[in-house]
Amino acid sequence: MATKHSIPKTISETFYKTTFNSIKTNLLLIEQESYLSDTQKLNLMYWKIGETLLPHKPWHKPWSIAVIDDLCQNLNNEFPSLPSFSNNLLMQSMEFYTTYHDRPITSQQLKGIHIYTLSAGAYLSLLLRHVFKPSKPLTLNKLAKKLPIFSLPWQQNLMLLRKVNDPIDKLWYAQKASDWKADDATLRTWIDHQLVSHTAEKDDHTTCRGNSWFSSYCKKCKSIGHGRGLRTWSLFSWMFLLGLLIMELSSSLLQDFLKNIYKQ
């Protein structure tokens, strides 16, 4: 735990310990959830850290950089098996939570729906439900399934935070990367070439307009695998097509051969 001399005078020791214990409890709880993958656990841990620290950002009192540094040291002592906590990581955790925390709907009556897809009337109805009958917060399992960001490696989440401005676009790339099991290089290429800006209006995983019927390769986003083009055909399909061509060619050659025999 933090020592008295390590806690700056701008924050009380009681408040610091309460915050630290809250983070510690959340991390221990997430560690014990066997139905979550290691990637989901790590993302949820950072989410919970950001959720705890968000109302007390370092540039708003009572937090300070010294307090955050001390918090990192204590977390590293408590959780040596986790990736090392640093000032930057805690800042990124707050940004991570801030960016996406208003995206999932917590109302049990509107499962699977996001706020930005609601009409004004539906959104007002949702607000009234929360006023007169507040819904229960999402469990860790439901939260992990709500947003694709929890299934991405942390490095890819950082890439989305740094390179993509619109939160909705961030979620679009996250869903694509999750669906296609994209590595860091592929996701970076999609973002650099703004794949989201030249996809079909109805995104059905076929996407890229830059590809052609003969090839699923898009010269603009420099990627393949969007479900279009002959390159996406299976080996069986190619063998079947090749067999038909051979049969047709053989039949034509056989007919010519028989005609020549009859003429003689």
Looking at residue 2, its pLDDT comes to 45
Given 53, 74, 100, which residue is the final one in a domain? 100
Could you tell me if residue 205 is inside a domain? no
> What is the total count of domains within the chain?
2
Could you tell me if residue 112 is inside a domain? no
Could you tell me if residue 83 is inside a domain? yes
pLDDT greater than 80 at residue 14: yes
Could you tell me if residue 198 is inside a domain? no
Given 61, 81, 100, which residue is the final one in a domain? 100
Q: pLDDT over 70 for what percent of the chain?
A: 62
Could you tell me if residue 178 is inside a domain? no
Could you tell me if residue 11 is inside a domain? yes
Q: How confident is the model at residue 242 (pLDDT cuts 50, 70, 90)?
A: confident
205: tokens are 């995983």
Could you tell me if residue 124 is inside a domain? no
Could you tell me if residue 132 is inside a domain? no
Q: Mean of the pLDDT values across residues 50-64? A: 68
Q: Mean of the pLDDT values across residues 38-52? A: 94
Q: What is the mean pLDDT of the chain?
A: 75
pLDDT greater than 50 at residue 140: yes
CB 97 within 8 A of CB 54: yes
Given 59, 83, 100, which residue is the final one in a domain? 100
- Spatial separation of the C-alpha atoms in residues 76 and 93, rounded to whole Å: 15
CB 218 within 8 A of CB 251: no
For the chain, the first-to-last Cα distance in angstroms comes to 103
Domain range for 240 is: 233-263
